[in-house]
Structure 1
Amino acid sequence: MKKVYRLLFILHAFVGLGAVGGGMMAILNPQGPGGMPTDALKNSPFSNYLIPGIILFAVIGLGNIISAFIILLKPRFHGYVSSIFSWALVIWIIVQCIMLNTVIYLHVIFFIIGLVEAVLSMIILFKQRMFPTNLIFYVYKQIRKTM
C-alpha cells in the first residue's frame, strides 16, 4: 500500500506542478502561451487562452498539488480527493482534444496518467472500504451467500 501512496503522490505532484506552470503561461500570455496560436481555438468557445489557463491553473494545477499534500496527511477522505482530481484530469484532456480537434502524444500521456491516478485512488477506497467500494463488497458477499 505504501507504493500506491508514493506513486499517487508523485503523479499528483507532477501533474499539479506542470499544470500550474502551463496555466500561468496561459494567464500571463493568453494570445499565445508557449507558442500556441489562438487559431487552435477555432472549434472552442474561447478566443484566447485566458479562461482555459485559469481552469488549468486552479483546477488541474492547484487541485493536484492539494491532492498530493492530502495524500501525505492521509485523512480519511484522501481517496475521494485524489479520485476527483484524477477524473478532472481525464475530463480536461478529453475536452481539450475535442476543442483543439487534435490528439498529440502529450494528450495520450496525461490521459493515461489520469487513469492511473484514478485506479490508484480506487485501490485506496477499496482498502478503506469506503463508498462506493463498500457497496461492491456488500453485493459480492450477498452473491456468495446465495451460492
Structure 2
Amino acid sequence: MKRLYSVLFALHLFVGIGAMAGGLAAILNPQEPLGAPIELLQNSPFNNFLIPGIILFTVIGLGNVISAIILGLRFKFQGYVSVVFSGALVIWIIVQCIMINSIVFLHVLFFIIGLTQSVLSALIIFEQRLFPSKLILNFYNRLR
C-alpha cells in the first residue's frame, strides 16, 4: 500500500503543478495562453481563456496540490478528497474535448491519469473501510 500512496501523491503533484502553470498562463494572457489560439473557444461559452484558466488553476491545480498534501499527511478522509479532484480532472478533460471539438495526445494522457487517480483513491477508501466500501463488501460477500 505504501507504493499506492507514493504513486497517487506523485500524480496529484504532477497534475496540480502543471494545471497551476497552465491556469496561470491563461489568466495572465487570456487571448493566447502558451500559444493556444482563441479560435479553439469558438464552440464554447467563453470569449477568452480567463475563466477556464481560473478554473484550471483553482480546481484542478490547487485541488490536486491540496490532495497531495492531505495524502502526505495521511488524513482520515484523504481518499474522498483525492477521488473528488481526480474526478474533476476526468470531467475537465471531457468538457475540454467537447468544447474545442478535438482530442490530442495530452487529453488522452490526462484522462488516463485522472482515471488512475480515481482508482487509486477508491483503493484507499476500501483500505480504510470507509463508506461505501463496507456496503459493497457486504453485498459481494452475500453473493458468494
TM-score, normalisation: structure 2? 0.98
Percent identical: 62
Q: In the alignment, what sits opposite 1:36?
A: 36
Measured in 1, the distance between the counterparts of 2:101 and 2:89 equals: 18
Measured in 2, the distance between the counterparts of 1:80 and 1:106 equals: 26
Structure 2 unaligned residues grouped into runs of 5+: none
Displacement of 1:143 in angstroms is 2.6
Indicate the structure (1 or 2) with the bigger Cα radius of gyration: 1
Q: In the alignment, what sits opposite 2:85?
A: 85
TM-score, normalisation: structure 1? 0.96
Q: What is the correspondence of 1:53-92 to structure 2 with a 5 Å cutoff?
A: 53-92=53-92
The count of residues paired between Structure 1 and Structure 2 equals 144
Cα offsets for 1:101-140 (capped at 9, x unmatched): 0000000000000000001001101111111211111112
Q: In the alignment, what sits opposite 2:108?
A: 108
- Which secondary structure does the structure 2 equivalent of 1:43 belong to? coil
Following TM superposition, where does structure 1 have runs of at least 4 consecutive aligned residues deviating by more than 4 angstroms? none
- Which secondary structure does the structure 2 equivalent of 1:19 belong to? helix
Q: What is the Cα-based RMSD across aligned positions, in Å?
A: 0.7
Structure 1 unaligned residues grouped into runs of 5+: none
Q: Partner amino acid for 2:30? A: P
Measured in 1, the distance between the counterparts of 2:64 and 2:115 equals: 14
Q: Partner amino acid for 1:52? A: P
